[in-house]
Amino acid sequence: MSQQETKQEFTGTITAVKARIRLLRSFDQISHAYLGYVLVLDGKLNGQPVEELRIAVGPKSHEKNQFRIGDQVSGMAVAVADEEKEWATHYRVSGLRLLARGPAEQVAPPNPDGGIAPPLPDYRARGHRRLDGKTYSANCQCCPFGLVMPTEITIDQWDPSKKRWRFETHCYGPRDCPMYRPGRPYQVPGRKPGMVWEDDDVEREKGGEDS
Ligand code: SF4
């Protein structure tokens, strides 16, 4: 068994609950893979303190537990195989235990200070807008609507083996959130040198999901 397949023991306190959604781009085409949730933890891995653990869990686990900031959890998980393609640090969780619940005031709609992350179909229905990376770091780390999305870019639709990966920050929250800053549009490379598409969210700003 390789090091990456070895189960590691985690324990910690949830500091944020985020949807785990992958963004798939092919020039001006955009689609999504709705994978589950990521529990951001202040905790320990194999008994050693770790700055930030991000544990991927399935939709059913969140539906059942309604994870919230302040919950204490433990379990076993495997380090992700490719850190370029996952914002989570660990997945394939087993033996997840909810040791203590966070404060009751966290049982609330999503907001900049936390609340309960909604079901994945809600994210899909809401759609997202780009979110300035510095704004995410300063204001959106606790908000279930603020996501760091692993983004797969298919450079040439006629040769899907040509891919690039990067992380993009996006907001699924209300349009009048006072924290919101869009930042610069994301640029998507095309198959020929110099081909670039600028994603300025125009379609999504008209309302509704894009794909
Ligand atoms: S800008 Fe978006 S992600 Fe940030 S706090 Fe507001 S709703 Fe949440």
Q: Per residue in 22-60, pLDDT tens?
A: 999 999 999 999 999 999 999 999 999 998 999 999 999
CA dist 163 and 157 (Å) reads 10
Query: By CB neighbour count within 10 A (0-12 exposed, 13-18 middle, 19+ buried), where does 25 fall?
Result: buried
Confidence label for 211 from pLDDT (cuts 50, 70 and 90): very low
Q: Residue 180: CB within 6 Å of ligand 1? A: yes
CA dist 85 and 131 (Å) reads 19
Q: Residue 142: CB within 6 Å of ligand 1? A: no
- pLDDT more than 70, % of the chain: 95
Tokens of 183: 């930042």
CA dist 147 and 180 (Å) reads 13
| Average confidence (pLDDT) over 187-197 | 93
Q: What is the pLDDT of residues 120-143, one digit of tens each?
A: 999 999 999 999 999 999 999 999
Domain coordinates in residue numbering, the chain: 3-205
Confidence label for 206 from pLDDT (cuts 50, 70 and 90): low
Q: Residue 115: CB within 6 Å of ligand 1? A: no
Tokens of 173: 């929250």
Q: Residue 140: CB within 6 Å of ligand 1? A: yes
Q: Name the residue with higher pLDDT: 5 or 88.
A: 88
> Ligand 1: distance of its center to the CA of 144 in Å?
8
Tokens of 177: 């959130």
Nearest-CA residue for ligand 1 atom 1 is 180
- Residue in the block written with tokens 């807008």: 129
Inform me whether the pLDDT recorded for 209 exceeds 60: no
Q: Residue 112: CB within 6 Å of ligand 1? A: yes
Q: Which atom of ligand 1 is nearest to the CA of 178?
A: 6
**CA-based nearest residue to 132, from 102, 170, 106:** 170
3-class DSSP assignment, residue 133: helix
Nearest-CA residue for ligand 1 atom 7 is 173
Its pTM stands at 0.94
Give the pLDDT of residue 177: 97
**DSSP letter, residue 185:** P
Q: What angle do CA 6, 71, 41 make, to 5 degrees?
A: 45
